[in-house]
Structure 1
Amino acid sequence: MSVHPRVVHKRRATITALPLYYSGHVLKKHTKEKDFKNYYAELRGATLFLYKDDTQDTYVEKLDLEQLKSMELESPYQRKTPTIFTLTLHTEEVQEVQEVQLKMDNADTGEEWRAYILTVVKRQIPSKLQLLPGQMFLLQDVLVQERTRNPPSSQPPLPPRPSFLKPSGSAGASSPPKATSAHGIPACFFDVTRQEAERMLEANPEYGGIILRPSTLPNNYALTLRQLTPSGPVMKNYRVASTSGGFIIELEAAVMVPSLNDVLTYFIEKTEYRVHPYVPFQPYDTRIDVLPAPECVATTSPTAKIIPKAQVAPMVQSQNKEEPLPDPAKPVGGEYVLPDEDGPDEHDLKMVQLAGDLQEVLKLRRENICKEKGNPPGMAQWATNGAPL
């Protein structure tokens, strides 16, 4: 006797409290398998539950779509051809990549599955959907429920990308990386043992959570990682082998990188940047001490700078003063003397003195002539004062 679908739905709801967003028949197979198998699928939250049929209340397999890395469509949307999706899931616990293919015989059903899966994973409705307005309305309602159930802010925000994560150099692949160069050894490399590295991470978690150290094997390295989990901090140790072509991170699926800095980049990206390399902080001063000023330094405001004047030795006056030249002889009244513009010199003085002597001689001669002619004394005086002869 078949069970009513409503009863089955109630039983499934008791197994998980996740809301049911979409359901239907799908074909599923892993990439390693040859044939598809028929399942009844339910999309609850961000998890896809697979049942053998719609009458089973216990799922046989579930896919955690939170680990979805990519969803590829093998062929473009066509109504008359089936739709095949390839889901790439990365499981963090076992470090394994899983590829699952889902097939829908109806292209419209396949478009709905694609819309619902991408909406709950990315928490946004994808663009360019081939859906009717009513289907878009239901999809919008699913987006609101999923954001309410698992808001984006429920997890702490990721820190910014560290500055030391620089892209790999453009060196040729033929030249092996040099781990002993100045740029090859990261700052979080310490020559310590496993126990010492774990103690360092435990004692100073604020410095970081990754320590790169030498391995017990020659020419190899080891990486100690301290990661926070809901149950508390967990210590893990990984081996990094050095080869001529690079460095191999020995995981279940080995990863090869060209340098030790790329080893750190790989672990930081895989932990979603929540763990960063162990780098001790440099101490900083928090006080400014006011010291007394030195004696030779003035504490007052500086005054204007005075430029000293040049000191010139005083001129020594000679004791033997030169005697001034004698004043030139004053001309006799009534006689004309031409002024010297450039000032009198010795020659001019002699000429003036000679003219004076000549005038005296002429005066005496006039007086003698007047006496001989019997002129009165007034005439002699008149002749003396400059009358013509």
Structure 2
Amino acid sequence: MALPVPPPQPAGARHYYEGFVQKRGPRDMGYRRVWAGLRGPLIAFYAVPRDRQPLEMLDLSELVAVRAEGGGLVLQMRDQNVTLKAESAEAQEMWRGFILTMAKMKVPSDLVLLPGHRFQLLEALREEQERRAVPRVPLFPSCFYNVSRGEAEQLLERSAGSGNLVLRPGGHGHGVSVTTRQMLNNTVLIRHYKVIDLGQDYCISVDVPHYCSSLAEVVQYFVEKSKGCLRPLHSEYNQKLEFVETDGENGEMLQGVYEPPPPRTQAPVLPDPEPPAPHRPVLQPPEQGESGQVGGN
């Protein structure tokens, strides 16, 4: 039976492709039936279709290869293998097409699909390209530092007592990371968490993935769930003037940074020479007579 071609999804749809699958991963005892939805570089797995918070997420930026094996699709990731079984051969081929398209940003040429299904893939690819082309201007909290993973660890060590959580650029390429530092029985515990930028939302990649609408909400999540044990390390002052402005050509909101002009080279200013000392006449002492008195008439 041929897979029916679904109607085109409207702009801003929740997922490019979705449906029930049988999933098995490293933490699964066996296959379990979940609702899967693909949006951009992520596959979210839900208990039921109406759920908003997923049970877990799969980041396709870490995809190495996809192969057919045992009646399913084996997704070879950098650190794990995940197997998906769709409810029909056609649906499984659609999943393979969407997974490879979003991971490689190119529709595979070896897909066995109807023209309508290929059109759906092309439309999803076009929308994803447009979404990635529009620069997102996130509002960074004061605990965001433009540092690497190692620099974040050193920063928290130097600032012990002032805060134990910082945001930093994500090493995974799309989003930010959270670095925390705590002490347990004189042992340093450092943890790093991935926060994925979904375009309109952020997803904190933990055991039960959590969506946030802003980076400030991401920070609040860690503070609340740790019952205040995690405290952001705030930067008191910015070193550069930053602002958000509107592009005059396309109306997009862009983040700007004021760069002061380099100082001009000037000739050194020499101090004024000291004026000459005023001329003072030399006074002669009055003549004295033989008796030692001043002479007179």
TM-score range, shorter chain: 0.3 to 0.5
Structure number with larger C-alpha Rg: 1
What TM-score results when the alignment is normalised by the length of structure 2?
0.41
| Structure-1-length-normalised TM-score | 0.32
**Structure with the larger RCO, 1 or 2 (CA within 8 Å, 6+ apart):** 2
| Greater helix proportion | 1
Bigger strand share: 2
